[in-house]
Structure 1
C-alpha cells in the first residue's frame, strides 16, 4: 500500500489513528475520552515495547509505546523507524484509505519523521504480477496532527519524505522485477520514463555508441549475450545548483549474472542474481529523489547495463581485453564482470571533471562474508573529512558502512604476466582487490561502495523488507545534501 503524508489541524473522532504515547500517557487526546484503556496499556507496555491495536467504540487506534531517548541518537531514530514498520504490519490487516497520526508533545520532530519513514517503507510489497506493466497498489493518506506543544513539521517536509520513500520503493521495484522484464533495452526505457517523471535528462547509448567509446569492458562482458548492452547517462542539472562540476554516481547494472564461463551453480546464489543491477537501481532512485525534491545539486549518473551470460561467443579465463582507458586486462574469472563494466564508466567520468565520484555495486561475496547483511563496505581515495561524513550519514540512516583499506601492497595481487592488470586476484581480500582494480581507472576524488550484502535480503528485516531493499538511496541523499547543497 503506497503511503503519502499530509498535515491535518485536528483529530477526527472516527478516522483510524496512530497514537504515539508519551512517557506517562500525558496529553491524551480528548477524542479518546474515557474509552481509552490506559490501565491495561500500562500493564501491557511494562513487558512489551511493540505497538498494539485498540478497538474503541467508533475508532481503531494503534498505540505506540514511548521509547526513551538514548545517548546514541541515531540508535533511537532507528528504533522509531522499526516502530513505524511494526505499525505498518498491523495496518496491513485492515482496509483503510485514510489514517491519522497524533504526535505527542514529548516526541521530537526528528523522531516523528523517522517513525513516519519506517511506516512508509515498512508498507512496501512487490505487487506486480506476470508481464503486467501496472502495480496493483492501493494508496493510504496519512494525516499528521500535532498537539499545541509539539514541534510541528511543515507540509513541504512531509512531501519530501514521501518522495524519498517513493524513490526507495522505485529502487526496490527495479531490483525485484524478474530478469526477463528488465533486459537492457527494457531497462533503458524505464530509465527514460523515470527521467520524464522526475525531471532529469537521460541518454541511452546503444551498442554502436558503446563501440565508438571503446568501452572494452562493457562490450567484453556483453558479447556472450543475445541482448546488446546499453549505457545510460542521467543528468540532473538545476539552474540553482550549488556545484559547478558534477557529482558523478556510477551504478553496476548487470541485469542477470550467470557468471559467464565461471558459471554460478550454487543456490540460492543464482536465484537472486536478478539483483545484480542493484547499484544502478540505487543511482536511479537517488537521482529521482533529488530531482523531484528540487535539491540544488548538479548530479550525473553513469550506468553500464548488460547481463553476464554464457555462450561460445563469451569471454573465457585467459582472454585479454582492452578497456576504454587503453589499459589491458587479463580475464582470470568471468564472474568478476561488474568491475569490468564499472571501470569503463569510471574512465568516462574523467571527461566530466567531477567534483566527486561515488560508485555503487553489488560487487563481491567477500564483502558479504566480511560484514554480513548489517552493513556495506566502502573504500576510496577522497579526503578523510568526506569519508567520516559518509560514515555519519550511514549511521543517521542506519545504512552503516565499514571502511576497508586500499594499501599499495594490494596492487601486487592483480599483477598479470600478459596484461596491465588482471580482473580477479584469486586470493585473499576479495572486496579490497575489487576496489583496487577500480582504483586503477580513476584520477579523481572517488568512493567505492560494495553493497552486495544489504542490497538484497533472503528474509525480511524490519522496514527493509525481504528481497530488494533500496540500500544507498537514503544514505547518499542524506550525505549529498549535508555536504554539498
Structure 2
C-alpha cells in the first residue's frame, strides 16, 4: 500500500502544510506566515532561533510543519537528510492522523520538496500482507501528498511517483512468502506489472530452459517440486537513445534452503524469501522506466527457482554443464545464486549489450564486510562507468563499495575435475563469487552488485522500513536516466 503524489497550484485554506526552510533561517518568511497569528509566528521564530529542525503547529483543525534543511557538506548528504526529515515528519503526521499534506519549498535547494516527499512516501509504504483480522491491520491515515506551485513541476512529481511505484513493486515481491510467490508466480507477477507499466515479458518455461541448456538453473531446480522460469523483460520505446541495450540481470531464488548444504535456522534460513531481491529490483527498475516513458532500450533477465534438498536435488561433488558450455564442480549447494546468474549472463551475450549489470543477494561475505549500509560492486566495465554508478549510489543513498577482481582471485575457484568450482575459499567470498561470474560475462562490459546487506532489513531503519527495501531500483533508475544527458 502506498500514498498518492500530486501537484497543485495552491494549498487550500486550513489544510495541513509543511514549509521547507533553508539552513540558518531566523525569521519566518512571509510565504510561510500566511494567516498565522502573531503569537504563532513568534513561537515558530523562537523555535528557529533555537535551531530546531522540525517545528509543529497544531491548529486542531489542521497542522503546520516547518522543516529546516540540515547543514551538510555535499548536495548528496543534504538530499539524504531531507529524505530522513520526511521519515521524521511521517511519524508526526501519523500521530495526528493527517490524511492530506501540502509541501511548499521555501529553501535554496530546488528539489527539496521532491526529496521530502520521497522520504515520506518510502516511509508510508505498507506491505498489505495477508491479515484478515481487522484488529491486526494497520490502517494508513496519510493518503495524499501534494507539492505546491513551483516547488516542482507536474512532470517531476509524476516521474517521482513512477519511480516510487517501481520501488514498491520490488518491495512487494520481496516481502511475499514462498507459498504465495513461487518461481511461476514471480514470473506472472512481473508480467502483470509489465502490462500495467508498458514493458513486455517473455516467460521461458522448463522445456525452453532445457532446450537452451541452462545447466545452472536446471541443477538448482532439481530438488524443487515446481519448475523454474526464465523471464525476459524488455522496454524498447520508439525514441530510445541507445543503439545497444542495457541489460539488467537479477537473481530470482524465491526461497533458499541451501539445498543439501542446508542452512541453519533460525537467523539464516528464516528470511530467505528475500533471495529473489535482485530479480525484484530488475522488475522494479523496468517498471519505473516504462511508467515514466524513459527513452532507453533496457532488457531485464530474471532466472527463478527455489533451492530445496528434496527428490533429485543436486549434490556437492556434482559436475554440471552451463549454458556457456563451461563445466562447474558443485562444492556447496548453498552457492546456488551464482549458477542461475551465470546462465543469464551467458544468455545476455545475444543482445550485444552496451553494459550488463547484475544484482543479487549473493554472499554473507558482503554483509560481513559492509553491513546493511552498502552493496559491494565489482566488474569489468571501465572506470568512468563505475564512477557514474557509484555517484548515482551516493545521490540516492544506495551506496556502493568497490572490491577488486585481481587475477589471483581466480585461484579461489579452481577445480580439479571441472573448469570452475562454485565455491571459493573461506575469505573474500564476495570476490570469489564475482570472479566466478566474470567467466560468464567476458563478451561485454559488466558490473556485479552484491546487495545481500541492504536488500532486506530485519528491523526498521528510517524510510527503508522493515523487510524488503527495494534496493537497486532507485540506484539503477538514477544511473540509467543519467545516461540521457551524455
**Counterpart check, 1:3 vs 2:6:** no
1:32 is aligned to 35
Deviations 1:172-206 (A, max 9, x none): 11111122111011112111110100011101111
- Equivalent-residue separation in structure 2 for 1:316 and 1:174 (angstroms): 29
2:174 is aligned to 175
Total equivalences in the alignment: 478
Contact 1:35–1:57 (8 Å) recurs in 2: no
SS in 1 for 2:209: helix
**Counterpart check, 1:108 vs 2:109:** yes
Deviant stretches of 4+, over 4 Å: 42-50, 135-139
Give the CA deviation at 1:142: 1.9
> Using a 3 Å threshold, how does the CA distance of structure 1 residues 47 and 125 change in structure 2: closer, same or farther?
farther
Deviations 1:280-333 (A, max 9, x none): 000000000000100000010000000011114111111100101111100001
2:183 is aligned to 184
> Using a 3 Å threshold, how does the CA distance of structure 1 residues 136 and 384 change in structure 2: closer, same or farther?
same
Contact 1:3–1:162 (8 Å) recurs in 2: no
- Equivalent-residue separation in structure 1 for 2:168 and 2:69 (angstroms): 28
SS in 1 for 2:207: helix
> Using a 3 Å threshold, how does the CA distance of structure 1 residues 414 and 360 change in structure 2: closer, same or farther?
same
Deviations 1:423-458 (A, max 9, x none): 001331100000000001112100000000000111
2:73 is aligned to 71
SS in 1 for 2:460: coil
Residues 379-390 of structure 1 mapped to structure 2, 5 A cutoff: 379-390=378-389
Contact 2:97–2:141 (8 Å) recurs in 1: no
Give the CA deviation at 1:89: 2.0
> Using a 3 Å threshold, how does the CA distance of structure 1 residues 66 and 346 change in structure 2: closer, same or farther?
closer
Contact 2:252–2:278 (8 Å) recurs in 1: yes
Give the CA deviation at 1:137: 6.7
CA-based RMSD:
2.1
Residues 267-278 of structure 1 mapped to structure 2, 5 A cutoff: 267-278=266-277
SS in 2 for 1:5: strand
Contact 2:365–2:430 (8 Å) recurs in 1: yes
Contact 1:164–1:289 (8 Å) recurs in 2: yes
- Equivalent-residue separation in structure 2 for 1:138 and 1:307 (angstroms): 37
SS in 2 for 1:29: helix
1:125 is aligned to 126
- Equivalent-residue separation in structure 2 for 1:287 and 1:321 (angstroms): 32
Give the CA deviation at 1:35: 5.9
SS in 1 for 2:95: coil
Contact 2:251–2:361 (8 Å) recurs in 1: yes
Any gaps of 5 or more consecutive residues in structure 1? none
- Equivalent-residue separation in structure 1 for 2:371 and 2:94 (angstroms): 30
Deviations 1:207-250 (A, max 9, x none): 11100000000000000001110100001111100112211000
Any gaps of 5 or more consecutive residues in structure 2? none
2:19 is aligned to 19
- Equivalent-residue separation in structure 2 for 1:210 and 1:130 (angstroms): 37
Residues 215-234 of structure 1 mapped to structure 2, 5 A cutoff: 215-234=214-233
Contact 2:3–2:125 (8 Å) recurs in 1: no
- Equivalent-residue separation in structure 2 for 1:88 and 1:226 (angstroms): 44
- Equivalent-residue separation in structure 1 for 2:293 and 2:393 (angstroms): 23
**Counterpart check, 1:55 vs 2:54:** no
- Equivalent-residue separation in structure 2 for 1:49 and 1:452 (angstroms): 37
* TM, length-normalised to structure 2: 0.94
Contact 1:84–1:116 (8 Å) recurs in 2: yes
> Using a 3 Å threshold, how does the CA distance of structure 1 residues 308 and 87 change in structure 2: closer, same or farther?
same
Give the CA deviation at 1:40: 3.5
Give the CA deviation at 1:130: 5.0
2:454 is aligned to 454
SS in 2 for 1:33: coil
